[in-house]
Amino acid sequence: MNQILKKEKLAENIKKITIEAPEIAAKAQAGQFVSLIVDKKGERIPLTIVESDRQKGTITLIFLEVGKTTFKLGKLEKGDNIVSLLGPLGKPTHIDRLGTVVTVGGGVGIAEVFPVTRAFKEAHNDVISIIGARSKNLLILEEPLRQVSDKLFVTTDDGSYGQKGFVSDVLKELLERQTKIDLVYAVGPVPMMRVVCEVTRPYKIKTLVSLNPIMVDATGMCGSCRVNVGGETKFGCVDGPEFDGHLVDFVELQKRLGQFCRQEESSRECCRKK
Ligand SMILES: Cc1cc2nc3c(=O)[nH]c(=O)nc-3n(C[C@H](O)[C@H](O)[C@H](O)COP(=O)(O)OP(=O)(O)OC[C@H]3O[C@@H](n4cnc5c(N)ncnc54)[C@H](O)[C@@H]3O)c2cc1C
Ligand code: FES
Residues of CATH 3.40.50.80 domain(s) within the chain?
A: 100-210
The answer to whether 214 and 225 are in contact (CB under 8 A) is: yes
Nearest CA to ligand 1 atom 9: 63
Residue 47's nearest CA partner among 231, 232, 223, 218 is: 218
Of all residues in the chain, the percent with pLDDT exceeding 70 is 95
Please tell me if the CB atom of residue 222 comes closer than 6 angstroms to any atom of ligand 2.
yes
How many whole angstroms from 234 Cα to the centroid of ligand 2? Answer: 10
Give me the CATH code for the 100-210 domain, please: 3.40.50.80
Nearest CA to ligand 2 atom 2: 222
Residue 214: what are its φ and ψ, rounded to 5°? -65, 125
How many whole angstroms from 212 Cα to the centroid of ligand 1? Answer: 7
pLDDT score for 221 = 93
Residue 174's nearest CA partner among 205, 144, 148, 145 is: 205
Q: Which amino acid is at 48?
A: T
Q: How far apart are CA 126 and CA 43, in angstroms?
A: 40
Is residue 217 exposed (0-12), middle (13-18) or buried (19+ Cβ within 10 Å)? middle
Q: How far apart are CA 243 and CA 208, in angstroms?
A: 6
How many whole angstroms from 101 Cα to the centroid of ligand 1? Answer: 27
Q: How far apart are CA 116 and CA 261, in angstroms?
A: 31
Cross-strand pairs, 64 = 14
93-127 per-position pLDDT tens digit:
999 999 999 999 999 999 999 999 999 999 999 99
Cross-strand pairs, 62 = 16
How many whole angstroms from 45 Cα to the centroid of ligand 1? Answer: 6
Number of the ligand closest to the Cα of 214:
1
Please tell me if the CB atom of residue 107 comes closer than 6 angstroms to any atom of ligand 1.
no
State which residues of the chain have pLDDT below 50: none
User: Which atom of ligand 2 is closest in space to residue 46's alpha carbon?
Assistant: 1
Q: How far apart are CA 216 and CA 193, in angstroms?
A: 23
Please tell me if the CB atom of residue 26 comes closer than 6 angstroms to any atom of ligand 2.
no
Work out the angle at residue 1's Cα, subtended by the Cα atoms of residues 39 and 80, and round it to the nearest 5 degrees.
65
Give me the CATH code for the 2-89 domain, please: 2.40.30.10
The answer to whether 101 and 183 are in contact (CB under 8 A) is: yes
Give the strands of the sheet with 44-48, arranged side by side.
44-48, 33-37, 84-89
Cis peptide before 88 (omega within 30 of 0): yes
Number of the ligand closest to the Cα of 213:
1
H or E element: which one contains 241?
none
| Displacement of CA 28 from its chain's centroid (Å) | 15
pLDDT score for 261 = 72
Buried b (16+ CB within 10 A) or exposed e, 38-56: beeebebbbbbbbbbeeee
Please tell me if the CB atom of residue 35 comes closer than 6 angstroms to any atom of ligand 1.
no
Please tell me if the CB atom of residue 130 comes closer than 6 angstroms to any atom of ligand 1.
no
The answer to whether 97 and 245 are in contact (CB under 8 A) is: no
pLDDT score for 258 = 79
Q: How far apart are CA 102 and CA 31, in angstroms?
A: 15
pLDDT score for 270 = 62
pLDDT score for 168 = 97
Please tell me if the CB atom of residue 43 comes closer than 6 angstroms to any atom of ligand 2.
no
For ligand 2, mutation pick of 36, 89, 222 (most atoms within 8 Å of CB): 222
Residues of CATH 2.40.30.10 domain(s) within the chain?
A: 2-89
pLDDT score for 257 = 86
The helix/strand/coil state of 208 is strand
pLDDT score for 42 = 86
